[in-house]
Each structure stands twice: as structure tokens, then as C-alpha cells.
Amino acid sequence: MFVKTGFSAEEAGQLLRRKRRALDLTLEDVVARSNVPSKQYLSKLESGTVHPGRSRYVGSLAPVLGLSEQEMANITNQPRPMEAVDLLRPSHLDAVGVLAGLSLPPLGAYVLEREPGIIVMDATEDEKRLVAGRQYVMILRERPQGTQVFLRARALREGEASLVLATSDRLYRPDEVRIVGRIVFEGQLL
């Protein structure tokens, strides 16, 4: 079984730009060290005008920008194996542990309180990488200990640039919540 985890053209381009800037490289530097034909083409990749995952040059960018296997899988929109996720024995999320910084496996099966079924969640997602239309698991930042509840929310665009998270009864700003992960699959146990 596989899960699609690919980035949109804009997300992939933003990742390339972040990596390049983190290494303090110019467009010219990257072109000189890769097979990318010009800085204009690299700029199109970074802006999302051309989807980096569909470019024949993306493979030559990996060593130059230090892209991980997972980042390359997301850029190229390749499925990643789900064999490590045991859907028959989903875990319960621990709110206290999550708020204390307990790390979760990158991909795991979980049951949410007050919700039927199982979700498979990519725990590598956070508030900085929200994408409109995708569903997330979140927890409110300002709740007394012991009253935290995991909520399912969909990211929605509000205005030109800002996103909000919509639950069934309320909208939240990203700074009001902690994103635990992105829902990549949901199902029911029979």
C-alpha cells in the first residue's frame, strides 16, 4: 500500500528556494553546480511556474541543495511505502506528550477521541507548511493541562495570503494551534 505525499509546484519551489538560501547560494551558483540550464529556468522552478518534480533536472539539484530522500519523494510526487504503518493497531495520541515535544513517527495510524475511524497522519507537517484544502490534526495551544483535545481541521484561504484552520464549529488562526500532522488517509475498521 502507498500514500501519495507530493508537493504542489509552489511548495516544491519554495523548498528549493529555502534550501538554496540556507546554503547561501545564488541562482548562478546552483546552475554552475547542477545540470539546470539557466538561472531563469531555476527561477521558474523556485517560483512554481514549472513544477520541479516534472523537470528532468531535479535529480541534479539533490546533491547541490542537500535534498533528503523524503524531500525528493515529495518534490517528484512519488508514493512512499506505508508498510511500517499498522492500520490494525492504531495508536491514541497523547496530548500532554505532544505539547511537551514528544516526537511522533513520520507516518503513523491513529484514533482521535470523539471521532470514528482511523487516520494515517504525516507528522512532519507543521504550521509553516499549511496548504489550503488539506486536512490537519491540531491541538489548541491555550488550554489548561488535561483538557487538551485533538481536533481535525481543514486549512482554508482567508483573503489574499493568510490561511485559517476550520473545524466543524470554528475558525482558528495558525498561531492559536499546534499542528500535529497532516491527514493523508482515513478509514474505518470493519
Q: What is the pLDDT of residues 28-68, one digit of tens each?
A: 999 998 889 999 999 999 999 999 988 888 888 888 898 88
Whether the CB-CB separation of 3 and 80 falls below 8 Å is answered with: yes
Q: What is the pLDDT of residue 84?
A: 52
Q: What is the pLDDT of residue 18?
A: 92
Q: What is the pLDDT of residue 39?
A: 94
For 132-161, the pLDDT digits (tens) are 888 888 888 777 666 677 888 898 987 666
Average pLDDT on 69-90 reads 68
pTM here is: 0.54
Whether 2-81 and 91-187 share one fold: the answer is: no
Where do the domains of the chain lie?
2-81, 91-187
Q: What is the mean pLDDT of the chain?
A: 79
pLDDT tier at 91 (50, 70, 90 boundaries)?
A: confident
For 162-187, the pLDDT digits (tens) are 888 898 888 988 888 888 888 887 77
Q: What is the pLDDT of residue 37?
A: 92
**Superfamily for the 2-81 domain:** lambda repressor-like DNA-binding domains (1.10.260.40)
Which CATH number is correct for 91-187, 1.10.10, 3.40.50, 2.10.109, 2.60.40? 2.10.109
